[in-house]
Amino acid sequence: MIPLGWTLALSAILFCIGVVGVLVRRNALVIFMSIELMLNAANLAFVAFARNMNSLDGQIFVFFVMTVAAAEVAVGLAIIVNVFRLRETVFVDEINLLKG
C-alpha cells in the first residue's frame, strides 16, 4: 500500500504548480488550466484520504467536485469568449476596465 504521505506530498506539489501558473501567466485560458490543476490536487488528497481511512465518502466527494468543475469550465470559457469579443484579448493585464 502506498504511504499516505507520498500522495499528500504529490497533491501539495500539484497545488503549488497550479498557484504558480495562476500568478505567472497572463493568458486567461492558461490561468483556467492552472485552476483545473489545483482542483485536481484537492481531488487527489480526497482520494488518498479515502484510501487511507477505508471509506468511500472521499471518492463520492471527488465525484461531486468533478461535476462542479465541468459546470465551472463551461461557464468560465463562455465568459472568456465574451471578453475576447469585447476586448480582442485574453491577457488578464489588458482587461483593466475596473482599474482606478
Partner 1 sequence: MLPWLFLGFAALLVATAVMVVVHRNPVTSALFLVLSFCSLAGIYLLLQAEFLGMVQVIVYAGAIMVLFLFVIMYLNLQHDVETGAQIAVRRGIGWMVGALLLLFGFLLANRGWAPGPVAAQLPAQDGGNAAAIGRVLYSRFLFPFEITSILLLVAMVGAIVLAKGRPASESEGA
Task: Pick the binder of partner 1 from 35, 42, 85, 87 (CB under 8 A).
Answer: 85
**Closest CA relative to residue 41, chosen from 7, 76, 78, 64:** 7
Residue 84, CA atoms < 13 Å, CB-side half-sphere: 10
Minimal distance in Å, beta carbon 85 to partner 1? Answer: 7
Binding track, positions 7-46, relative to partner 1; x by CB under 8 A: xxxx-xxxxxxxxxx-xxxxx-xx-xxx-xx--x--xx--
Pick between residue 7 and residue 95 the one whose CB is nearest to partner 1. 7
Cell numbers given for 8:
499528500
- 92 counts as binding partner 1 under rule CB under 8 A: no
CB 59 within 8 A of CB 46: yes
4-24 and 28-53 are packed helices; what angle lies between their axes, rounded to 10 degrees? 170
Pick between residue 28 and residue 98 the one whose CB is nearest to partner 1. 28
d(CA 33, CA 18): 8
Return residues touching partner 1 (CB under 8 A): 1-2, 4-10, 12-21, 23-27, 29-30, 32-34, 36-37, 40, 43-44, 47-57, 59-60, 62-64, 66-75, 77-82, 84-85, 90-91
